[in-house]
Chains A and B, each alone.
Chain A
């Protein structure tokens, strides 16, 4: 775009048109590579640096070095900004939904409950029916709150927003139907998207241990060393878990991939099952 806008020394329409085909070719290639990378990103989970390396190699073989350098810069900038914008946007959106629900729908329902209570004392005509109706509305609003709670927990668990990953893991361990212990050694708060991805990874591993492995106990160990978050979830269950079959762990793997994180499962028949996740991140 910048090249097209540069009119050359004559500044005429003709020179702009003359310049267009060659420049368009470079931008076209850039667009194609970006499209391929975005597709890879969306379909298989992002390994941004892998795809940038692939595109760079392809660019160098297909184009002259000068254009390849331009293209590489465009691809690098374009893709990096795309990836980070996508990650940032998703997490900002999740956080906003969580706040909106917390301050909006939930607050309104509570106010409704209080006003209904006041109404009970005011209604004089057909008091029996009115009271019954009011009680019913109250029950309905309470039910709506229960649903909202479950929804919020699934989008962005409140304990994660309030306390960060360490305590959120401890809370998961407490709520796990199988007795679970948590050993957490994390330096303060990690980037919010990493915390969320790691939280849902641990939740999935715990759910699997309880549902499929018939485990009697689970141990979670979360540490941060050498610029990477590492969480190990091990259980004493039956083992034999095949991560390629369940959709849960595949989803977790994809989400972790967004941050160049990896998931490994060791689950020989007879157990134990050990799920390890590692995500490179600063603290």
Chain B
């Protein structure tokens, strides 16, 4: 799997590159600023890109803007955005095209390499991955309102993990329940939230995130 990394901090860029190589990824190019990123994304057409929001030259949101621009030029180009802080505003912009192949995680998640490489593979497959902190922000306002308030504690946990973009088997592993039990909870959640049921993992994540963000 070919990966492009955009990160201006040398230590982190090299650390991520060696971690990915260890897990069998092929690092096609590692860049350190916004303009090189846009060039690398459109010329390399990687299977997935890892992009830091804030990059030189101006240290604002060059990384995010370059990633969004690359996705306009190459629709559905998979990008995993990393940042030291998460904003619902950025999550909304990333999800706006509803095309999938998008991830948004705190840089801290790189520590847990399974979580990180799983997320990377999900995004590369066209899936959607959202940081637990964004999901928590989305749920914070909703939790007191009727449809979400009607969910059982277990259903709420499943909903959270589902919004993070985890598969049924990953949710089952995390909550130590069977895959069948997870599907049952999902059906019940979708019924309570009045969402059309879907077997497609990515459509399911997008539906839940759109619902929580509305």
Contact = CB atoms under 8 A, between A and B. Distances in A.
B15 interface: yes
B60 A174 contact: no
B141 interface: yes
Given A99-B59, A142-B111, A114 B15 contact: yes
A163 B9 CA distance: 21
A107 B11 contact: yes
Interface stretch (A13-21, A41-49, A123-131, A153-161): A153-161
Interface residues of B, number: 26
A93 interface: no
Nearest to B86: A149
Contacts of B88: 171, 174-175
A163 B111 contact: no
Contact of B89 (A110, A113, A152, A171): A171
A138 B9 contact: no
A106 interface: yes
A107 B108 contact: no
B204 interface: no
Contacts, number: 76
B74 interface: no
A117 to B, nearest CB: 6
Contacts of A170: 89
Contacts of A145: 84, 106, 108
A184 B54 CA distance: 24
Q: How large is the interface on A (under 10, 10 to 19, 20 to 34, 35 or more residues)?
A: 20 to 34
Interface string B135-156: 0010011000000000000000
A159 B89 contact: yes
Interface in B90-143: 92, 106-108, 110-111, 113, 137, 140-141
Given A107-B9, A107-B11, A149-B84, A174 B89 contact: yes
A110 B108 contact: yes
B61 A163 contact: yes
Contact of A161 (B11, B60, B107): B60
B87 A159 contact: yes
A206 to B, nearest CB: 13
Nearest to B82: A110
Contacts of A102: 54, 84
B89 A106 contact: no
12 contacts: A99-B59, A102-B54, A102-B84, A106-B84, A107-B9, A110-B9, A110-B108, A142-B111, A162-B54, A171-B87, A174-B92, A177-B140
Interface of A: 99, 102-103, 106-107, 110-111, 113-117, 138, 141-142, 145, 149, 152-153, 158-159, 161-163, 167, 170-171, 174-175, 177, 179
What 8 A-B pairs come out closest when comparing CB atoms?
A113-B111, A114-B15, A162-B61, A174-B88, A171-B89, A111-B11, A162-B60, A158-B85
